[in-house]
Structure 1
Amino acid sequence: MINATRLSEEIKTISRFGALPQGGITRLAFSKEEAHAREYVKTLMQAVGMTIREDAIGNIFGRIEGELPLPAVAIGSHLDSVPLGGCFDGTLGVMCGLEAIRAIKEQKISHKRPFELIIFSCEESSRFNMATVGSKVMAGKLSTEALENLKDKEGISLYEAAKEFGCAVETMDNATLPPDTFYAYLELHIEQGPVLENKNIPVGIVTGIAAPIRYALTLQGRADHSGATPMNMRADALACAAEIILHVENVAKEKAGETTVATVGFANATPGVLNVIPGSVSLGIDIRDIDHANLEKAALLIEKGIEKITHDRGLIYTLKVLTHDIPVSLDKKIIETLENEAKKLHIPTLKLPSGAGHDAMHMPYVSTHTGMVFVPCKEGISHNIAEEVNMDDVMYATEVITKTLITLANEG
């Protein structure tokens, strides 16, 4: 039903925006590289006949009207990437969603409900230490003040970056959508894990999405001469950080739940020279789980451990919560519909949870039904220039979502 050659070529074309010599892309949120990718997709959307609008945070909506004035069926993902990232994370969902809607329109298949393609802003947390910004704004979870407080490494706030990008952030309140704005929302994404490839299954149907709790931790000790300061008279912030890093790992491995994961993603020591005891260290802590109780348990244990370790070492600390999300179970109706359509196409599927966060986790606030489809990625590698997919799997998944969109759009 879909045009596989066209979809493959368009994926190759959009991969040029932010392309790196060694492969992969760097296409950060609100960058010129992302701007070029967005303009390319908007050109394709216009060619399909979509009506295009952008909201105050830069989310793009492309709409094809249906036969009746009913809430739309939406599909989408994001175009921004992590630094030194792959070409498929997020982008694949946008391009496959576009192809699905385009195939339905080209083949003049009737649909009562409108279709909308959504391109979300700032899904990756790489620049501002907060993920899924566009969908959070849409769901009413982020204030203007929050955008002003989130800053990148250059001290540029998310609010400033979005405004410079051309977003009407001063009208942020208008970007929040009411419940049931959409009848259904679908998102196609690479799995970012090895399960589907290991089981040789081309399409994953997502049952739930893990949520993150993220912290910015600053440790304040004292910078001293590394040769002249006795070991028992030191307030070494980096040594304290090392103990906290191991504590975070231990909580996730031994004390929380079976599906709990926790990571210290960076440790920046100051002054950062060989012959000076580090006086301060900043850490980024990321905790995730698909189980809400275990997520909260891990966060509490990590907080208590930080308090004890810093107290025992005589250091001062500040702990700032960057993100505190709740895991989401996806809609059983969508899961069943995806399964049924895949069976009709004789395409094998597997139900599995998502350990990574996605914009879909916020869509139940504005969509009556929400679901996700995964495509296997080679060796489970993602957020890496080595990220790769099998295009046959991509086509199978796109066929499944196309048929699912048609079914959902013709429900009363």
Structure 2
Amino acid sequence: MTHEDIQMLKKFDAEIDKLAQVAEQLFLKIAEASRDGEGITRPAYCEQETTAGNVLREFAEAEGLRCGPDAVGNFEYELEGKDKNNFVLMGSHLDSVPIGGNYDGLAGVVAGVLLQVALKRCGLVPKFSLKTIGFRGEESPWFGTAYIGSRLLLGEFAGEQLTSLTHSLTGLTLQQHLHELGVSIDAAAAGTKRLDLNCVKAYLELHIEQGPLLEAEGVPIGAALAIRGNIRRPFASCRGEYAHSAATPRHLRKDAVIATAHLVAAADRFWQELIDAGGNDDLIINFGVFATNAAEHALTKVSGEVTFSLNVAGTNNAVRDALYERILNEAARLEREFRVSFDFGSKVGTDAVQLDAGLISKTEKAANELGLAVLTMPTVGHDAALFARAGVPAGMVLIRNQNGSHNVHESMEIRDFLDGIKVLARCALEPI
């Protein structure tokens, strides 16, 4: 790095520090427009999501950035570079889960805009044009599927879903919501790429860490190594037979609760064995839904029905798949032992995605140059996965979060956020 480069970055860092209060005000203004009791709700393709994008647009336009919707209704904020034909993309999503937090997704969009504004205020012109995208519909609760805005942009959307997917709040189809935004798109056009990937030098996403690792380790910055893939069975069940608990001995029972509990315990044991074997610390299983039928269950009844969900995730697809198959085999064995029947229902999921090694290295180097501790670690699903799968070099800067994510207590220190933007800038200004 030349002396001129060092001085330029120092100038940029000082300008970012001056934007601390602006950052807080932007987050607060957007939060107030999407407050839902104690939490934040920004439904995809609805007023609150649109307001978030427009708050940033008004600020960005006042600072001289070029703004507008992209071809599929996402928000776009642009700073022209020396090379006007090629660009670096930055961004994340604007929607939230129901009654969630304010920073999941939004922090990445605000970061990209503030990075561009700081460069413009300093009079610094980047090598490549910089575009920040505020994606719509990344969260799955609204239409039952994730990454809608980025999938539409990249031409990876199934056309029939435009009319088959309906919004959980409005009851409108995705196509109707797009039409409300002035986006005319039919089934044939849904699979058309709206972005020339040959012009995209990199995709970068700043995001809060959605778990406790960085906070627990006392490290402000994470460099994401990979995005976990997952196998999900959201509507699984175990069927046995209802019976009088005092009149039915164990060997004659068909107890769905005990059989499913054995399955959960076995899955946890398999998980621990793989972690103990080494190299599988990123592996995750979860039974997030686990319930008996409230209309039939009772203190004195053997339960004949349990509904549950299963999620198996990790950055090594082969290890993830092996664990999943072992769980299914155990379910088959338990069917014979307890005389029950498991039905795992529909299967959804994605494979793991490895992020760009060069951008991981740049993230680590940038943090070190700034005197910041950095931890390389896997992360969960983000829009970055779509760009990585499409062949675009993709990297992620993670910011520690004190209270987890997808909850009303989601948090982020502005100091950490500004440091994250400085790291992000060093990757965006010299992505290759």
> Structure 1-normalised TM-score?
0.84
How many Å apart are 1:360 and its aligned residue?
Answer: 1.2
What's the counterpart of residue 64 of structure 1?
A: 79
More moved, 229-238 vs 6-15: 229-238
CA distance in 1, matches of 2:408, 2:106: 14
What's the counterpart of residue 384 of structure 2?
A: 360
Classify the secondary structure of the residue corresponding to 2:328: helix
CA RMSD of aligned residues (A): 3.3
CA distance in 2, matches of 1:175, 1:365: 14
Classify the secondary structure of the residue corresponding to 1:374: strand
1:287 aligns with 2:302: no
How many Å apart are 1:318 and its aligned residue?
Answer: 4.3
What's the counterpart of residue 101 of structure 1?
A: 116
How many Å apart are 1:253 and its aligned residue?
Answer: 2.4
More moved, 234-243 vs 282-291: 234-243
Is residue 89–residue 382 contact of structure 1 (8 Å, CA) maintained in 2? yes
What's the counterpart of residue 233 of structure 2?
A: 215
1:262 partner letter? I
Is residue 189–residue 375 contact of structure 1 (8 Å, CA) maintained in 2? yes
Alignment counterpart, residue 377 of structure 1, candidates 395, 401, 426:
401
Classify the secondary structure of the residue corresponding to 1:216: strand
How many Å apart are 1:355 and its aligned residue?
Answer: 3.5
How many Å apart are 1:133 and its aligned residue?
Answer: 3.7
Classify the secondary structure of the residue corresponding to 2:125: coil
Classify the secondary structure of the residue corresponding to 1:15: helix
1:306 aligns with 2:325: no
Which consecutive unaligned segments of at least 5 residues does structure 2 have?
A: 1-14
Is residue 68–residue 113 contact of structure 1 (8 Å, CA) maintained in 2? yes
Is residue 111–residue 406 contact of structure 1 (8 Å, CA) maintained in 2? yes
**TM alignment of 1:11-410, pairs within 5 A:** 11-22=27-38, 24-47=39-62, 48-56=64-72, 58-145=73-160, 159=174, 162-163=177-178, 166=181, 168=184, 170=186, 171-175=189-193, 177=195, 179-219=197-237, 221=239, 224=242, 230=248, 235-255=254-274, 257-270=280-293, 272-275=295-298, 280-310=305-335, 312=337, 313-315=339-341, 317-323=343-349, 325-344=350-369, 346-366=370-390, 368-378=392-402, 381-408=404-431
Is residue 137–residue 175 contact of structure 1 (8 Å, CA) maintained in 2? yes
What's the counterpart of residue 5 of structure 2?
A: none
How many Å apart are 1:353 and its aligned residue?
Answer: 1.5
Deviations 1:166-190 (A, max 9, x none): 4545231235645445111111111
How many Å apart are 1:115 and its aligned residue?
Answer: 1.3
Deviations 1:225-244 (A, max 9, x none): 65798466665544444333
Deviations 1:38-90 (A, max 9, x none): 3323333443432322344x433333333334321011111222233222111
How many Å apart are 1:138 and its aligned residue?
Answer: 4.0
Number of equivalent positions: 404
CA distance in 2, matches of 1:156, 1:305: 40
CA distance in 2, matches of 1:25, 1:254: 39
Distance 1:316 1:404, change over 3 A: closer
Which consecutive unaligned segments of at least 5 residues does structure 1 have?
A: none
Distance 1:375 1:103, change over 3 A: same
How many Å apart are 1:18 and its aligned residue?
Answer: 2.6
CA distance in 1, matches of 2:115, 2:169: 39
How many Å apart are 1:392 and its aligned residue?
Answer: 1.0
How many Å apart are 1:147 and its aligned residue?
Answer: 6.2
CA distance in 1, matches of 2:137, 2:46: 10
Is residue 141–residue 168 contact of structure 2 (8 Å, CA) maintained in 1? no
How many Å apart are 1:259 and its aligned residue?
Answer: 2.6
Deviations 1:293-317 (A, max 9, x none): 2111122222323333345433252
How many Å apart are 1:372 and its aligned residue?
Answer: 0.9
Classify the secondary structure of the residue corresponding to 1:83: coil
CA distance in 1, matches of 2:255, 2:170: 27
More moved, 183-192 vs 228-237: 228-237
Instruction: State which structure, 1 or 2, has the greater radius of gyration over its C-alpha atoms.
Output: 2
